[in-house]
Structure 1
């Protein structure tokens, strides 16, 4: 294919993965990012000598990243240092603390200790989901350019593995009798913006992947990965324009002709990749008459929950593992309050990231950081977060102190930053503050996700809203799909 000028909107991992591959192929690539930092939601947040990952803090399925770097003739180990976490995380569920390991023998011992008799069920779960993943992998890599692509042979072969009609809790009930153990293998769905009682059963491969491949921390944080990706883009001659917000996308004859920056500069290009928040871009960057999707259709789509995030620098260290999850008393009621009632849940679910357990680079000596994420309703709700913010903060601190037996956490806080759903929408341009993008029910999977738009010929969509799903490995797969379809065009 002749060299083309590629414009990418957004310097998140999806856009950077596209840029890595296309600069490697010799194309001229320009990335325009509104923020002053690389990474989008995987950016680095620095405050008073402390460093935080803005968004994702854990990495799984590192084989996807290794493959991307290898494709670009790089060794990922030259750029980042991965630490395999053991335990994967500490789960505080009712009266137990469950610490699963990437070592299946240790996990079975832990299950035997807490859930006697269930350890053999774990073996069956892992065997069955290993087979399921073999069939589902081709679907994750399928472009699904139309509904007809569902009827391809490899898609039809995978149908039994999709367990159509089953939700995740139904799948897990085939293996685990104890409801607490089912929760331990389904809590990740909140990071898909859904309840396990509504998540398709096919997503049982996500807890399988964490147990099989492991969960990893990157020294310095996940942001080190996106910065490494940007280094490769620049080494290949690509340009990344930070602090350059795209104000409008200009179209003519079913093609994007150019983008207009906030400064007024107009930038033309041959092909465009959208890595910014999908719904926000469709509703804000196109003129309403030329938007590829109407605001009415956008409003009918299902969006994930949001998150109340706290970034805290401490003058001490704590006896915590890298990841700790505090479960509410009734997880089903909790998710219903967030996803359907659109109210602040009566009982909180709290995900705490504590890098200092394995990484001394993100805080001054003898100090540490906490990244705290609490799922809450998105901005489809009527919650006034400016009013609720102080009470929510106090509840989170109190819950952590009580559940983790930490005395007077407040007295050790040197610095903090809070991001509410309002902030995610206003400051980070995330539609309705839905930080996990479009939710993942059957009506919004595969060909029903916004992988492309028929009304725009020279644009591809990458990121958490595109196929296959919203998590870092899947976002990188969305970039692989977009690049492959771009290369197939004449």
Structure 2
């Protein structure tokens, strides 16, 4: 294959995965990243000696990561240290605290203790979703270039597993009678930016994957993965240009000809991969007449919720597992308030990440870090976050102290940072502050997710907005698909 100059916009995991593979193949790879560090939403946040994961804090389906490193001739264990979490998380649902394990014997015992009679339903859920995964996995690993892709034999064989017409809660009702147990196997959809009452039933494979493969913490944080990926790119001769904000993408004759940086530098290339936030890129980096999608069509798409995030450096230790979720009394009303009423919920859902439970490297000795994530509406809501932030922060602290019996959290804070939906949009260039990108209803899956366009022949799109979905393993699969299509075009 002829050596090409590859230009990648954005040093998030999708762009880095493309860069790893194409630099391994001998191409001249250049990544341009607006921030001072790699990672995108999977970057490290450092403050006053404390380290935090900016975005994702857990890794599942590690086989995808392992395969990517192996394809580049590397052993992942030479770059990062994975810790399998047991329990996976602790879920506070009313008067019940459910702490499942990747060990099915332990999980069944926990279900039998809290939800007597439901433990055998767990076995059936795992068996059925193992079969579903066999049919769906190939669909995640190949492109859907057009509507005709839906009629491929492999897709048609998978149709029964797609459970068309069913939402995730409908699927779970086939297995679990207790609504709290259904919630325990569906709450992950908030990280798809959706409610389980609107998420397609096919996504039951996500809780299955967590229970089957486990959930992992990376020592030093998930950001260590993107750092390791950048090391491989540079070992292969690729270059990563930090603090290089792309101001404009120029096109001619159905091709991208160059990108222009803030300092006026014009960068040319043979092929371009866009890993920056999809909707932001389409609406800000192209002139409207040259963009592959119009602003009118962008506005019609459905975007995920956002998040209000608090990062705390503490001068104490807390009796927490790595992941703890505090649920509102009625999760359905909670998600409806976020997704449809576009209001800050009265009763909050709070996801706490406390790496010190297994990792002593992210805080000074004797101290610890705590990240608090609260799903909230994206910026379609027009909420004035400068006005609302302080009251919401105080409400969150009171809920944590009450539900976890933690006294005076405020007095232990050494350092603190808050990121609101406004900040996600204006500081991190995420369209509408929708940190989980496009939602995942059927009208925005498969061939209906962006990947490329006939309007531009030397461009591929990777990341959370593309096929197959928004989560770290799926983002890496999007990169694999993009590289696969690039190689097919150039052989």
Instruction: Give CA-to-partner distance per residue, 1:3-34, whole Å, 9 cap, x none.
Output: 00000000000000000000000000000000
Map 1:301-380 onto structure 2 (within 5 A): 301-380=301-380
1:467 matched to 2:467? The reply is yes
1:22 is paired with a residue whose SS is: helix
| 2:299 pairs with 1:299 | yes
Matches within 5 A, 1:21-420: 21-420=21-420
Structure 1 residue runs of 4+, over 3 Å off? none
What SS class does the counterpart of residue 234 from structure 1 fall into?
A: helix
- Provide the secondary structure at the position in 1 that maps to 2:381: coil
> Aligned residue for 1:445?
445
Q: Deviations over 1:369-416 (max 9, x none)?
A: 001110000000121000001001101111110111100001000100
Q: How far apart, in 1, do the equivalents of 2:178 and 2:408 lie? A: 34
Cα distance in 2 for residues equivalent to 1:370 and 1:404: 14
Consecutive unaligned residues of structure 2, counting only runs of 5 or more, are none
How far the C-alpha of 1:256 sits from its partner, in A, is 0.2
SS at match of 1:373: strand
Deviations 1:28-84, CA, capped at 9 Å, x for gaps: 000000000110000000000000000000000000000000000000000000000
Measure the CA separation in 2 of the matches of 1:339 and 1:456: 33
**Distance apart, 1:142 and its partner CA:** 1.7
Q: Distance in 1 between matches of 2:413 and 2:90?
A: 23
Cα deviation digits, residues 85-115 of structure 1 (max 9, x gap): 0000000011100000010000000000000
Tell me the CA shift for residue 241 of structure 1.
0.1
For residues 385 and 223 of structure 2, the distance between their equivalents in structure 1, rounded to whole angstroms, comes to 27
Work out the number of aligned pairs and report it: 490
Q: Identify unmatched segments of 5+ residues in structure 1.
A: none
Deviation readout 1:339-390 (Å, 9 max, x if unpaired)? 0000000000000000000000000111100011100000001210000010
Q: CA deviation at 1:295?
A: 0.4
Supply the distance in 2 between the matched residues of 1:7 and 1:33 (Cα, whole angstroms): 11
Tell me what 1:430 maps to.
430
1:14 matched residue in structure 2: 14
Distance in structure 1 (CA, Å) of the matches to 2:447 and 2:48: 45
**CA distance in structure 1 between the aligned counterparts of 2:288 and 2:142, rounded to whole angstroms:** 31
How many angstroms apart in 1 are the aligned matches of 2:426 and 2:165?
A: 37
SS state at 1:380 partner:
helix
Whole-angstrom CA distance in 2 between matches of 1:386 and 1:436? 22
Secondary structure of the residue aligned to 1:365 is: coil
TM-score (normalised: structure 1): 1.00
Deviations 1:204-253 (A, max 9, x none): 00000000000000000000000000000000000000000000000001
Q: Secondary structure at the match of 2:122?
A: helix
Note the C-alpha offset of 1:452.
1.1
Q: Report the secondary structure of 2:17's partner residue.
A: helix
